[in-house]
Amino acid sequence: MDTSIKLLLGLTAVLAIIHIVQAQDQKGFISLDCGLPSNESPYKHSNGLWFYSDEKFTQGGKTGRVRENPKGYAKQYTTLRYFPDGIRNCYNLNVEKGRRYLVRAIFVYGNYDGLGMKPVFDLHFGPNIWATIDLEKTANGTVKDMVHVATSNLMQICLVKTGKTKPLISALELRPVGNDTYITKSGSLANYFRYYLSESSSQIRYSNDVYDRIWNPLFMKTWTQINTTQNVDNSNSFDTPEIALQTAVTPTNSSAPLTIQWTSENPDERYYCYAHVAEVEDLQANETREFNVTWNGIQYYGPFVPRRGLVDTIYTLSSRSCDGGKCRFQLIRTDKSTRPPLLNAWEVYTVIQFPQSETDESDVGAIKSITAIYALSRINWQGDPCVPRQFRWDGLNCSNTDLFLPPRITALNLSSSGLSGTIAAAVQNLTQLETLDLSNNNLTGGVPDFLGNMKSLLVINLSRNNLNGSIPQALQREGLKLFIEGNPRLCLSDSCKKPHKKKIIVTIVASVASAAIVIAVLVLLFVLKKGKPAIQQGLVRTSTMNVTFAEKNSRKFTYPEVIQMTNNFQRVLGKGGFGMVYHGSVNGSEQVAIKVLSQSSTQGYKEFKAEVDLLLRVHHTNLVSLVGYCYEGDHLALIYEFLPNGELKQHLSGKGGRSIINWSTRLRIALEVASGLEYLHIGCTPPMVHRDVKTANILLDDNLKAKIADFGLSRSFQGGGESQDSTVVAGTLGYLDPEYNHSGRLGEKSDVYSFGIVLLEMITNQPVINQTSDNSHITQWVGFKLNRGDIVEIIDPNLHKDYDFNSAWRALELAMLCANPSSSRRPSMSQVIHEIKECLVCANSGIGKNLELEPQEITSSDTSMVPMAR
């Protein structure tokens, strides 16, 4: 064997043979018969499992019963729940955080509606997609079965409508399994195959299997069946059913390997394989059964001698891939062996990644408590409150909606929601809440003190309720806007002698004196408007900038401080129409980038003002954040966080000594950019369009995390589509949406087009405009290559083909779709995010399964039969 192969095996293949006795009953089991009427719940299955109605685990949905039952499925698969209303409908299951579970969902159509139209829909696990359920492709239903470690005390399984058909589910089952089993380096394990090797036609599950795994029989014509009636000790943590271990197969040709092979449509699929082996024959003293275990021809364990009547489980602690999607698992007898190899039971799992973090557990608990207290029932208040963004609950805004940090709820709007009673104490558990709107309800009682202790709150709207008493002193603080008009029995002090007839807005941001100054400036402007046009521009700047920076928490710097921060403007980072950008530091430690407005730049001032207006009111992890500002006479400067890895554009070409980023990092950056744009489009009020999305405006921090910069051209638009008004066309040649360029009508799809061009750049590393080529624009160049079938030359050669081809082509298709000349054919940024996430996990989420076995019909009179996991 080659030395490099030996080294590889030494690093990746680890044998684990476990002998730990473990008992298990139904404690922790959840067995839901979906659609079962509550008056028929619970009931005991013939195998001893108790099944319950799902009514209390989900909201909404309607019940049905199968009309066609060709395989005689058990009772739990004859009823179902379908969801005609809403896009996402979820089940909420209480679990133990950190515990490993077998999660199984079963779907049987059975022509319950008499329409003969089998549905297609998505199955989500929390905020992540688990699988696409396509019952058109299955004759009698399907099973999705995986092993997953609970990341919180609540597990949410959601059915998501993707077309015209209605999602449905027949049964949902949770089984705790041993925490020392099915361990992965990352991700969860989706069941690929689970077989016991026998000529039998019956499935095995509870009570023969303490974990209620479903074992299907597998037998090939090239095998010989052997078995025993004696006991087989299955006492290791996998607890393989004894009945499965009492049978085994050997190759009929005793000198041949025992081979199982299959083909996956995804050549980069990663597998975990578990071989359960126990000797079932009494060998003579001069007989030996010894074999090696190989994966695609490479030995990873052996030689191994099975023990009589005692199970050993052989597996690796690292996932394995197959060459070109061709997988071959073999047991090969050694030269000293007198008997052929043997195998009793066999499991194969694929790695499935759930990259999107769930919303912070404390926030989820708080919002669910608020929902219960006020008996709120909203069709879209299901599943994770914050992610994925297209399913974010109405009335919420969230931060940290990237893949890696748990999102936090930052805004709660329950205005006009019919609330009654007092302000719920659960609100204080939303510790990152910045905006709370409880206006236009029927809330009574006083304003609670705990609101004053929520330091993150910037805006509280309690107007038009029936609140009474005095406002806590802690709420009369600087930087907090408190709206309380329409509460006649609520006052600012303990006296409360007179009801307030006028609108009360407590905004402790600027003093009365400051307000008087602003009024004086406005009056001065009016007086001087006609008489002194030469200084009008400066006065307008003064007034508008005062208004812009009023009521903000940003830190104000003096111009001498700016000079000191930049070391007298020593290091230039860049230059634009607004002026220069310099490197600096605050307090000698925090690095910043300082944009200084040129006094001669009229257009630069407008961009400067637009950027101020936007960045002082939006906050997102993928948007460059504003540290502070300088507004002192004619000196205007904005101070931003400094991103040391500079522009994305340089990392594609390697210019300026920048490193060339790999494929997976490019996809992650694309996802982060899309997340920032989606926030502008649907997370801002009013929604915003960036208008100048390009690789030069995407900056990277120390960890190559992407942040969108340069908001000088950003504009608001009418939510939900295009602007009703035309705007002066702005943007960068090559990235500019041709439809917007022609019509002047601004909409979010203009940013989608620009993003598509950025994604093409990241895939190809080609110039956006190349005047020396007949196909001068990057979309023309890519289209030309695709039409010639010359797709290999499209991907950036700097990647040296070190990328997953499936995800590369999927990303390429997405980029061309975004850059479609017609805005109506472009996806939304939410759809883009979903597709990029699919690209990111493409290598671990293949669905192709073609087991190379002899064709066979499997029939059974066993009433516990369930659909095959396919």
Q: Which amino acid is at 441?
A: N
Closest CA to 211 of 182, 248, 246: 182
Q: How far apart are CA 266 and CA 269, in angstroms?
A: 6
Q: Rounded to the nearest 5°, which phi and psi values hold at 408?
A: -120, 140
- Helix orientation angle between 805-818 and 829-840, rounded to the nearest 10 degrees: 170
Report the alpha-carbon distance of residue 14 to residue 10 in Å, rounded.
8
- Distance, in Å, from the CA atom of 137 to the CA atom of 141, rounded to the nearest integer, reads 9
- Measured distance CA(35)–CA(742) in Å, rounded: 54
Contact 806, 268 (CB under 8 A): yes
Catalytic residue list:
692
In angstroms, rounded to a whole number, what is the distance separating the alpha carbons of residues 677 and 708?
Answer: 8
Backbone angles phi, psi at 414, to 5 degrees: -115, 30
Question: Are the beta carbons of 610 and 712 closer than 8 angstroms?
Answer: yes
Cα three-residue angle 616-622-627, rounded to 5 degrees: 40
Contact assessment for residue 380 and residue 393, using Cβ atoms and an 8 Å cutoff: yes
E-strand spans in 54-119? 62-65, 79-82, 88-94, 100-107
With residue 333 as reference, give the H or E element that holds it.
strand 326-333
- Token pair, residue 790, equals 């010359």
For residue 402, what are its two tokens? 């990237």
Residue 607 CB: number of other CB atoms within 10 A?
22
56: annotated binding-site residue? no
d(CA 484, CA 492): 10
Residue 422 to residues 429, 443, 454, 495, Cα–Cα distance (Å): 16, 6, 18, 22
Collapsing DSSP to helix, strand or coil, 394 comes out as coil
Q: Are 869 and 145 in contact (CB under 8 A)?
A: yes
Coil, helix or strand for 475? helix
Cα torsion 599, 602, 605, 610 to 10°: value is -170
Other Cβ atoms within 10 Å of 501 Cβ, number:
8
Q: How far is residue 646's CA from residue 655's CA, in Å, rounded to a whole number? A: 11
Per DSSP, the chain holds a count of helices (H) and strands (E) of 14, 47
Q: How far apart are the first and last CA of the chain?
A: 37
Nearest to 617 by CA among 836, 817, 410: 410
What are the residues facing 489 on neighbouring strands?
468
Which residues have CB under 8 Å from 596's CB, separation 6+? 562, 569, 579, 580, 581, 582, 635, 636, 637
Measured CA to CA, the distance from residue 817 to residue 189 in angstroms comes to: 32
- What b/e sequence results for 128-147 when a residue is b if at least 16 CB atoms lie within 10 Å of its CB, and e otherwise? bbbbebebeebebbbbbbbb
Q: Residue 92: how many CB atoms within 10 A of its CB?
A: 16
Given the structure tokens 């359920």, which residue do they identify? Answer: 133
Binding residues for ATP: 595
Which amino acids are annotated as binding site, given as ranges? 595
